[in-house]
Structure formats: structure tokens, C-alpha cells
Amino acid sequence: MPQAKFFVKKVVTCPNCEGRQFVQHPAWTEYWKENADKPFMTADQDRKWFEDHGWYVGSCIDIRINGIPDEEVVCGECEGNGEIITEVDLATILPALLLEIQVKG
């Protein structure tokens, strides 16, 4: 008879978004790095900046986003869950768990 394997779920806060589920779009990270200490730009100046840096989608069908990417996007590491969930073989972690119980007990 095959031996059964048992797994536990390991849940950790996503290190990329720190549990917030969203991250800043790389275009905006670059934008703020370059423009944080400058006076605010007009919408046309913003559009030009994104165009010059290859981030502007000029033929954008959805007029709501006007070709400039959203400042925040769903975190790709946790897929917007805010947590990373992995299955861990119980046999692998059981010795460490037993040791922890002995130390605390």
C-alpha cells in the first residue's frame, strides 16, 4: 500500500507588496524618482514624459486611462492576494516543530 504524504500550508505576507495586494507600476516608480523634487507638471507634460520613456500607449482604446499606465497594479508575486501560500511536506518540517514545542513546553 502506498505511503500517504501529508502537507501543511505555509502562509506568509507577500514581501513584494507587504500584504497591500498592489504595487507601484514600474513606470511610476521611474517617474517619481526622476520628478519628485520638481514642480508639478501639466497633463501634457506628464504624457510627454511617459511617451519619451516608452511607457505611453498612444493608441489606447480605453479613454479612461489615456495611455498612461495606472499608478498601482495588482502585485504579480502574490497575484493580488497579499499572501504567499505554499504547501510544505509535513515530514520535512515536523522535526523543527517538535523541537519548538519542546523548547516552549
42 and 58 inside one domain: yes
Check: pTM over 0.95? Answer yes or no: no
Say if residue 60 is in the same domain as residue 89: no
Containing structural domain, residue 81: 1-21+75-105
Per-residue confidence band for 65, with pLDDT thresholds at 50, 70 and 90? low
Same domain, 82 and 45: no
Buried-exposed string 72-103: b where 16+ CB fall within 10 A, e elsewhere: eeebeebeeeeeeeeeeeeeeeeeeeeeeeee
Q: Which pLDDT does position 63 carry in this prediction?
A: 45
Q: Are residues 60 and 95 in the same domain?
A: no
Q: Provide the number of structural domains found in the chain.
A: 2
CB atoms within 10 A of CB 45: 13
Domain co-membership, 65 together with 92: no
pLDDT confidence tier of residue 58, bands split at 50, 70 and 90: low
